[in-house]
Amino acid sequence: DAGVIQSPRHEVTEMGQEVTLRCKPISGHNSLFWYRQTMMRGLELLIYFNNNVPIDDSGMPEDRFSAKMPNASFSTLKIQPSEPRDSAVYFCASSLEGLAGYEQYFGPGTRLTVT
C-alpha cells in the first residue's frame, strides 16, 4: 500500500490567496483526520470524518478554513483567504473504524508558508 498521500508537499503563497491541500487516505480506511502542527501549539486536530461525513470540526480555527470529503478516497482542506499565521505543517491521517480507528496512519504532511 502507498500509505496516506498528501499534495502538495510544500506550498508558498501570498496572504489573501486561496490554498487547497489534498489527501488520499489508505484504501479501506473509514476515518480521516486533518491536523495542524506548529512550534507554538504543537499538533492540533482540526477536523475528522467517518465514512466521508464530518464528525467533529471543533478544531477548525475560523470560517476561513473548510474541509470536504466527497468520496472515500479523497479529501481537501481549504483556506480562503490565507493569512501568515496559517503557516504550519498540515497532516492528514487515516484509520479503520472502531477500536482500530485509534491507530492512525499519517501522511508526510504539507508545509504551508503564507507570506
Interface residues toward another protein, by CB under 8 A: 4, 31, 42-43, 45, 48, 50, 55-56, 91, 93, 99, 101-109
- Minimum CB separation of residue 107 from another protein in Å reads 5
Closer to another protein by Cβ: residue 63 or 103: 103
Residue 45 beta carbon to another protein: minimum distance, rounded to whole angstroms: 6
Nearer to another protein, 3 or 16 (CB): 3
Minimum CB distance to another protein, residue 25 (Å): 13
Strands 10-13 and 110-114: parallel
**Cα–Cα dist 61/38, whole Å:** 13
- Smaller CB distance to another protein: residue 45 or 72? 45
Cα dihedral sign, 53-57-62-65: negative
d(C-alpha 30, C-alpha 14), whole Å: 34
| Nearest-angstrom CA–CA distance, 16 and 26 | 32
